């Protein structure tokens, strides 16, 4: 899933902006995709990103880090293995920590990605949808739309079993107000700006 955007630059030639595969908007100022490469950097610049949530344990490539530095984009890394057992507490804790970063508007606009933008990204987005009170069938349909034939039953099980009540621990210190859900504005702010910041991966 992807698209190519042509932008007129005033010359005879047009600049072509190429999003990463599986790119899509999740919500206003929240995006998802597969792992970006250098060919995607011009497109990412148009998003005016503040943050990237990276869901893989492998080190971020130096070329990508250099791009983040040049654009003043923060990297939040959560080392989730590609096929983690859904019963593993580490998986739940990592997703919970990633959700804390994701719902903090100070990190928006934000891009979520893993390797292919299917499984780990799909799990995080699925848990976000549960927080937004989506029905489970719609959550699964969105996951499967991106995962395609590679859809994993264990991912769907994780999303289904993810305890939405446990999100109170990451919303405890957050005031959240919906200005008409389904309209475009959602405001989520820390009650106390002196609270401990989410873990930030240093370059």
Say how far apart CA 124 and CA 94 lie, in whole Å: 10
Residues 6+ away with beta carbon under 8 Å from 88: none
- Where b means 16+ CB within 10 Å and e means fewer, 1-29 reads eeeeeeeeeeeeeeeebbbbbbbbebbeb
129-134-91 Cα angle (round to 5): 35
Q: Residues 29, 114, 127, 135: which is the catalytic one?
A: 114
> E strand or H helix at 53, and its extent?
strand 51-54
> What is the Cα–Cα distance from 153 to 78, expressed in whole angstroms?
22
Where does residue 158 rank: exposed (0-12), middle (13-18), buried (19+ CB within 10 A)?
buried
Is residue 123 within 8 Å of 98, Cβ to Cβ?
no
114 is catalytic: yes
3-state SS, residue 27 = strand
Q: Which two tokens stand for residue 114?
A: 């893993």
Give me the active site residues, please.
114
């Amino acid at each position: 899933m992807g698209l190519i955007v042509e932008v007129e630059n005033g010359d005879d030639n047009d600049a072509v902006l190429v999003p990463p595969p599986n790119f899509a908007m999740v919500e206003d100022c929240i995006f998802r995709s597969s792992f970006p490469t250098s060919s995607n950097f011009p497109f990412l610049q148009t998003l005016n990103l503040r943050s990237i949530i990276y869901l893989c344990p492998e080190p971020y490539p130096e070329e990508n880090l250099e791009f983040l530095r040049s654009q003043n984009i923060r990297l939040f890394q959560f080392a989730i293995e590609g096929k983690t057992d859904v019963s593993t507490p580490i998986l739940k804790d990592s997703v919970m920590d990633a959700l804390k970063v994701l719902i903090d508007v100070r990190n928006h606009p934000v891009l979520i990605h893993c390797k292919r933008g299917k499984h780990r990204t799909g799990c995080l987005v699925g848990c976000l949808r549960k927080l937004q009170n989506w029905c489970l069938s719609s959550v699964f349909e969105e996951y499967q739309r991106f995962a395609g034939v590679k859809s994993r039953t264990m991912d769907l099980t994780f999303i289904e079993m993810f305890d939405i009540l446990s999100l109170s621990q990451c919303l405890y210190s957050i005031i959240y107000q919906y200005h008409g859900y389904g309209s475009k504005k959602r405001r989520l702010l820390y009650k106390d700006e002196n609270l401990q910041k989410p873990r930030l991966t240093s370059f």
